[in-house]
Amino acid sequence: MATERKVSEGEECIRQAEKYLKTSFFKWKPDYDSAANEYSKAATCFKGARALSKCKDALLRAADCYIKNNSFFSAAKCYEQAALMAKDMKDYTEVVTLTNQACQMFREYGTPDTAALSMEKGAKIIESYHPERAIEMFAKASEVVMLEERPKQAAEYVGKAVRLLLKLKRYDEAAEMMKKELQFHLEGDNRPGAGRLVVAIVLVHLTRDDYVAAQKVFKDWNG
């Protein structure tokens, strides 16, 4: 009964939201802010009733209203919550899509750090199921933080992508990405981290049976 009541409350909020979006002779412009608020309330009700699909849909409608009202931060938060609903529904492809939308909205709002954190959270959700997509998301997070020249954070995100590449035994790609990570360590003046990474790159080349490349890295970066 409690579940049914929550669903009914959520559906009433949807109806209220749709009223706010209607225009008339005396009301020329939809009230996006009030509609977004009602859709958000509906999402809370549906979440409490574990009606995950309805909750996700309400959040996406709220996000659309926030975007039309130029409230990009609120839209981003809706996309993040919708991604969590997709996670609970085991729709990991949708998690990727919604996380990318959240990231874009945070960037529109002017908070690249938050955008990168959102991308990292999404990558962690899917890394056990779709490691290839998670690698892309960690790499994108590094690109986003470098918009504000934060090489230390960029190195952390690239390092997470490298670990997944190594786990997948994609050693050639791992070696290339480790070069990026090394560059970020140097830009961030993290010489101990750079030193450890040089050793790791040598080991990866040895695993690839590329002794020439291993020797070159050792010679170029010795000391």
Give every CB contact of residue 89 below 8 A, 6+ residues apart in sequence: 52, 53, 56
Angstrom CA distances, 177 to 61, 116, 122, 216, 223, stand at 38, 18, 20, 17, 22
- Tokens in use for 163? 């670990």
- Reduced to 3 states (helix: H, G, I; strand: E, B; else coil), residue 89 is coil
What is the DSSP secondary structure assignment for residue 25, as one 8-state letter? S
Give every CB contact of residue 142 below 8 A, 6+ residues apart in sequence: 116, 153, 154, 155, 157, 158, 161, 180, 184
Q: Confirm if 78 and 40 have CB atoms less than 8 A apart.
A: yes
Which pTM value belongs to this model? 0.89
How do residues 8-47 score in pLDDT, each as one tens digit? Answer: 999 999 999 999 999 877 778 999 999 999 999 999 999 9
Q: Provide mean pLDDT across the span 71-76.
A: 97
Q: Confirm if 217 and 205 have CB atoms less than 8 A apart.
A: yes
Q: Confirm if 56 and 84 have CB atoms less than 8 A apart.
A: no
Give every CB contact of residue 165 below 8 A, 6+ residues apart in sequence: 135, 171, 173, 174, 177
Residue 223 has pLDDT above 60, yes or no: no
How do residues 183-211 score in pLDDT, each as one tens digit? Answer: 999 998 888 888 888 889 889 988 988 88
**Distance between CA 131 and CA 21 in Å, rounded?**
41
Q: Confirm if 61 and 39 have CB atoms less than 8 A apart.
A: yes
- Tokens in use for 68? 């039309």
